[in-house]
Chains A and B, each alone.
Chain A
Amino acid sequence: MKRRIAVLVFPGTNSEDETLRLLRDCGGEAELVHWSRAQRLTDYDAYVLPGGFAYEDRIRAGAVSAHDRMMDDVIAGAISGKLVFGICNGAQILLEAGLVPGTGPVRRPTAAFTDNGPVPHFVCRHVYMKLAIDPSRCAITAALPNDAAIPAYAAHGEGRLAASPERLQEIVAGDHLAFVYAHRDGRIDAAAVPNGSALGCAGLVNREGNVLAIMPHPERDGWNFNHLDRQEGNDVLAPSGGAALFRSFVDAVNGR
């Protein structure tokens, strides 16, 4: 039997539909779970936190949501080894919940995705996120090839990884830096980073490798019709591009 994936909807979430659609198109048994209908959240085998502006990004993006009661179940699930995958606002929530990089106590974040730099403005830009760990280091990326470059859209006002030098060192030393921004050809430099993120960070993984938080949105570049100029195969409706990461996640959930 397929394992069930919950896509969490907080008040202010805005990317739940396309996230759900791509999970399903990649073979996942996924459904939306709404903040007022979350009593049975423990019944699910994996959690996806989609993008948006949950709780209006009050205080700091993700800060209020990390204390929503849905997160009690997500945190418990993560500790018990369930897969947890956060995208954009979902990534911010996982950071604020202390699940990534996971080097401090729960709900005591050791780093933040905060105001973009050098100009503190929302930015929407097509990017590539390059796998910076061995694929098997994180269960969710296990089916990707080495150095995979995943096409995605960065679309956020608070996506710059910021932490003290010691904490950044901890992220590097602990192999928590899962994805970095890159150019189409895989080159890595400052121009590839849309938000001034420390370490060029686009995504973080926890020590156990079951929680992944990424800032860019692969689900917005996840079907052939999103990128007709680099279409794979003839079916315009088929998942491709950013779907590679979603497939790897679904495979991991289903234990393949």
Chain B
Amino acid sequence: MVNPPASRPNVALSDDELRAIAQHLRREPSTVELHAFDAQWSEHCSYKSSRRHLKKLPVSGANVVLGPGEDSGILHLGEHDGERYGVVVAHESHNHPSQVVPFEGAATGIGGIVRDVLCMGAQVIAVADPLRFGRVERPHSHARYVARSAVDGIGAYGNAIGVPNLAGDAYFDEGFDDNCLVNVVALGIVKESEIVHSHAPPGADGWDIVLVGKATDPSGFGGASFSSVTLDSSDAESNKGAVQVPDPFLENVLMRASYRVFAMLRERGVVAGFKDLGAGGIMGCSAEIVAGGGYGADLNLDDVNVAVDGLPPEVIAVGETQERLLWVLPPELTASVVGIYNDEFTLPHVAYNARATVVGRVTQEKRYVLRHRGAIVMDVDIEFLTGRIDDELSYVEAIRHDPGHRELPAVDVEDVFPKILAHRDVCSREPLYRRYDWAVRGTTVLPRGAADAGVLAPVPGSTLGVALSVAGNPRYGRIDARAAAELAVLEAVRRAIATGARPLGLTDCLNFGNPHKPERYGELIAAIDGLGHAARELGLAFVSGNVSLYNESKSGAAIPPSAIVACVGGFRDVSRVVTPGLKRAGSALLWVGSRELAVGGSVLAEVLGIDGPLPEISYDSERAAIAIVETAISAGVMLSCRAISDGGMLTALARLAFDARNAGRRLGAELDFGNPLCEAGGFLCEVSDEGLVDVSGSLKVGTTIGEPRLVVNGTSFDVAALYDVWSKPLTEIYP
């Protein structure tokens, strides 16, 4: 590789992009402008290599109140007391920061996603975190350090702000040794008539731009472009400067003060704009919030509350100090809003020089102007700055690894099943999530870990319920990026349905390698195709999402293709929830779902050291299975239910038995099924009325019994002993 000339500025912009900027400006860009374009045109902000493919995802539908484009999407939940309620949902990644400084990286991931939901005018009601870590078995490995510290960071932040951790998953795989994935999802609840948008409203010419929150400091400078390059462990020290510093204590107060501002704006009947400061800092947020309304902006960086004097203007402009938000307000309301933050909620006493302060105004002229010490340090066409840029990269069709042989292995269940329950991707996640507060707010119906999805009753005095589930199996991704993305959609949806929820919509985070490598780019495109196809087949839309590329180390090892999906579900009456665990002896166990069995990508295959094809996907059987489950629930015959995933049907049955045991019910089951460890999709259902057995698409596979044993084709397991095997392994990592 040829080294760039010494005069080349230290930014991630390509030579072509630098030329395009100079050509447009008809001069060399200033230092501030250079860093502004560097942030704004990074993949993180611009989606320049993924946008053309993301357009293929379905983004509209009956439930969609607000699709992708603002800080969060919104799905219609239902009505209560004459008001329509929406669920606000956002999904992001904080992968790069979490690999370098895991505690702070993961914590600021929670902080950022919470502000994305907050700024829609919503009460924040839940967070979730799909996690992918490397091999944690070695006691002093970086992977173990990352896995521990990221979890502690998520807990420290979410616990302090008082938002329950509702859902999540964790996989441990060598493919994530050098690049962990820390995805974050947040949910909010909002009256649909009170949504606040992330852009300046009509008539905002001359309105105030008000910065709220932490004093700007040098942390997080270059964060957006840092997230858009390949990590190199030799840069570890310099990369740390790009990671932000979390202050959940301040965020807690900012949230509560913002709720107060929402109430005041409602009383006055004023529509304002509100947006989180994320990538690109003050510049990125202010440019996008005004450009979204068709305006320009004129800001004075000297008016920004700073933590240290003498910060260069480019650091003030694009640095990614956390816990900041930006309002666009009519001038007659500015003093009241500033008063709520600074006097009623005493921001300056909560954190050093934190406050709400006017930093500029909205302009009719579509220029983006920054001033510093009396000089103009940036003056560009705002549409050029925030406009859609598009990289056409070359790609190769993603490989579908097909080992060819399709026969199922003969399995010694007595020997293999305990190994599967103890497998790092199957065993209990409780040692991990018990470090999170999953019950704060008092709205919990099914808490984290109790079922396939978490469920809340977020509207006081209402029976409306919200479910949240996540999915994305890296073992599938390694075999076939497209099928893995489809299966992630199916699994997330099944998980929500298994609790009795109606699926309302989806979010995605696409975690992939370097898009400039045609193989990696091909995987990304295949996964987007898979997500779109599965969502269309199920009649669902993606309302929020994120792309995280460059998840590979300089040695060239990329992560397994990881399309991670979250499904938001709804209940009109949350008392219809399918509660956890087997309920009584003598009920029928039904397998509802496609009859295609396969071992590819399964935990069984890994334990046996074999490979095989992925399960075939049949959307006809999937829709039929969903209809059967929904009918059984509405008919009141569904006693308990689990989606079948990692570890197969027998693992799903064990989980139902464990949940019964935890509730003090001495129950077990007899299972009569040939391949109970294959990871076929579908549901395992305990039903009180076998009338459903005749419906095509379900198969009776067993019966519950009044003693805590699982009897599988004649082999008998003690539920307590299995529970011991399943519940222990992660306590070594999370004591």
Chain B binds chain A: yes
Task: Name the interface residues of A121-178: CB closer than 8 Å to any CB of B.
Answer: 121-126, 153, 155, 157
Q: What 1/0 flags go to A24-53 for Cβ under 8 Å of B?
A: 000000000011110000000000000111
For the complex, what is the distance from the CA of A125 to the CA of B349, rounded to whole Å?
A: 33
For residue B333, CB closer than 8 A to chain A, the reply is no
Please, which residues of chain A bring their CB within 8 A of the CB of B438?
Answer: 124
* Inter-subunit contact A36/B579 (CB<8 Å): no
A226 is contacted by which of B160, B249, B434, B445 (Cβ under 8 Å)? B445
* Inter-subunit contact B343/A155 (CB<8 Å): no
For residue B365, CB closer than 8 A to chain A, the reply is no
* Inter-subunit contact A237/B344 (CB<8 Å): no
* Inter-subunit contact B463/A229 (CB<8 Å): no
Per the CB 8 Å criterion, the residue count for chain B at the interface is 45
* Inter-subunit contact A226/B444 (CB<8 Å): yes
* Inter-subunit contact A219/B575 (CB<8 Å): no
Q: What 1/0 flags go to A182-206 for Cβ under 8 Å of B?
A: 0011000000000000000000000
Please, which residues of chain B bring their CB within 8 A of the CB of A236?
Answer: 463, 573-575
**CB of B434 to closest CB in A, whole Å:** 5
**CB of A235 to closest CB in B, whole Å:** 9
Please, which residues of chain B bring their CB within 8 A of the CB of A157?
Answer: 159
Interface centre among B350, B440, B441, B462 (most CB of A within 10 A): B440
Pick from A15-23, A70-78, A99-107, A207-215 the stretch touching chain B: A15-23
* Inter-subunit contact B460/A14 (CB<8 Å): no
For the complex, what is the distance from the CA of A11 to the CA of B735, rounded to whole Å?
A: 31
**CB of A216 to closest CB in B, whole Å:** 10
Number of A-B contacts (CB under 8 A): 113
Q: How large is the interface on A (under 10, 10 to 19, 20 to 34, 35 or more residues)?
A: 35 or more
* Inter-subunit contact B442/A219 (CB<8 Å): yes
For the complex, what is the distance from the CA of A119 to the CA of B731, rounded to whole Å?
A: 11
A18 is contacted by which of B161, B345, B349, B443 (Cβ under 8 Å)? B443
B439 is contacted by which of A21, A36, A220, A237 (Cβ under 8 Å)? A220
Q: What 1/0 flags go to B563-588 for Cβ under 8 Å of A?
A: 00000000001110101110000000
Nearest opposing residue in chain B for A56, CB measure = B249
Please, which residues of chain A bring their CB within 8 A of the CB of B350?
Answer: 11
Nearest opposing residue in chain B for A219, CB measure = B442
For the complex, what is the distance from the CA of A223 to the CA of B461, rounded to whole Å?
A: 11
For residue A247, CB closer than 8 A to chain B, the reply is no
For residue B294, CB closer than 8 A to chain A, the reply is no
Supply 29 A–B pairs (Cβ within 8 Å), ascending by A.
A9-B256, A11-B345, A14-B162, A14-B252, A15-B441, A17-B442, A18-B443, A52-B160, A53-B159, A56-B249, A121-B435, A122-B436, A123-B434, A124-B438, A126-B439, A155-B437, A155-B439, A184-B664, A217-B440, A220-B440, A224-B575, A225-B445, A225-B463, A225-B574, A226-B442, A228-B577, A236-B463, A236-B573, A236-B574
Chain A residues proximal to chain B, CB less than 8 Å: 9, 11-12, 14-15, 17-18, 21-22, 34-37, 51-53, 55-56, 119, 121-126, 153, 155, 157, 184-185, 217, 219-226, 228-229, 236-237
A35-B346, A124-B439 known; 9 other A-B pairs, CB under 8 Å? A11-B249, A12-B160, A12-B253, A36-B346, A124-B436, A184-B664, A217-B440, A217-B442, A236-B573
